[in-house]
Amino acid sequence: MKRSLRSGKTKSSSFESLHRRLDMYALAASAASVGLVAVAQPAEARIVYTPSNIPINVNGGLVELDLNHDGINDFQFYAAYQGPGFPKLGEHASALSVQPVQQSNRVRRAESKGHLCAAALPKADRIGPRSPFQPGHSSLLMAFAGGDYTSNTAFGPWLKVKQAFLGFEFVIDGKIHFGWARVKMVSSDAGFPAIITGYAYETVPGKSIVTGRTEGPEDEVSVEQPNPPSLGAVAPKQRSLGLLAMGSSGLSIWRREESAAAGN
């Protein structure tokens, strides 16, 4: 009887020990799975929106935009007009353009009459890794119109819109982010004046943003990454029709002329 009792106790003790080990294993596995779920959760999107009223005045100089308020200008705008008689009699030109300030930044592109231009995006358009951006660091015309007594030309996605959005890809601490700026066109008899009425960017690197959306998180999360309020003005100066149409190359010539003039 004693031997049988000891045997029963041994079996009961072994079962309880095994049960405790299984409970501990289950608890550990559960904790581990919770940890994995937590790790797998996507980073919460946060859109930083800045309402603004930044004018882009005709022949008013460059206007620079710092999307994330880190003290580094990301993009710059200019609006220029040359009236009849400059540089030739009857010749005139109007241009509105946007250009990345930093080498790695890009502007969403579109084509207009065979010209590569800055896209005029509608509200609720998605800007992200698969969006078509300009191929390099260069100026993109938003709108252009010019000619002389014999012929005239006009092109650019912003010619026929009252308000639209620019799409941006820019770098913060070496990582790609996406953003937008809302631009309102202003009626004018000369040139293409405009106003930047607001801008925003997504804080999660590589995550797309929707134009016009001012807060997150968004409904869809995309963290794939492609491979690798501030404004300033430059003193206005008369420019030629040719330089107006040259985009970034024209800007470089303008700046060299300004530097030479400053040194004289």
3-state secondary structure 5-64: HHHHHHHHHHHHHHHHHHHHHHHHHHHHHHHHHHHHCCCCCCEEEEEEEEEECECCCCEE
Looking at the 3D structure of the chain, how many domains does it have? 2
Alpha-carbon span 36 to 26, nearest angstrom: 15
Please report whether residue 74 resides in a domain. yes
Q: Are residues 101 and 87 in the same domain?
A: yes
Q: Are residues 124 and 25 in the same domain?
A: no
Strand ordering across the sheet containing 175-185: 47-56, 194-202, 175-185, 163-172, 106-107
Q: Are residues 127 and 223 in the same domain?
A: yes
Q: Are residues 78 and 193 in the same domain?
A: yes
Q: Are residues 105 and 195 in the same domain?
A: yes
Last residue of a domain, one of 11, 26, 41: 41
Please report whether residue 264 resides in a domain. no
Q: Are residues 221 and 153 in the same domain?
A: yes
Q: Are residues 11 and 125 in the same domain?
A: no
pLDDT truncated to tens, each residue of the chain (264 aa)? 444 444 444 444 443 444 454 345 444 434 443 333 333 334 466 999 999 999 999 999 999 999 999 999 999 999 999 988 777 777 899 999 999 999 999 999 999 999 999 999 999 999 999 999 998 888 999 999 999 878 899 999 999 999 999 999 999 999 999 999 999 999 998 899 999 999 999 999 999 999 999 987 644 333 333 333 334 444 444 444 445 544 544 444 444 444 444 454
Q: What is the pLDDT of residue 87?
A: 75
Q: Are residues 238 and 180 in the same domain?
A: yes
Q: Are residues 66 and 128 in the same domain?
A: yes
Whole-prediction pTM:
0.70
Please report whether residue 127 resides in a domain. yes
Please report whether residue 122 resides in a domain. yes
Please report whether residue 193 resides in a domain. yes
Please report whether residue 191 resides in a domain. yes
Q: Are residues 19 and 103 in the same domain?
A: no
Q: Are residues 29 and 61 in the same domain?
A: no
Q: Are residues 162 and 247 in the same domain?
A: yes
**β-pair partners for 171:** 176
Question: What residues make up the domain containing 3?
Answer: 1-41
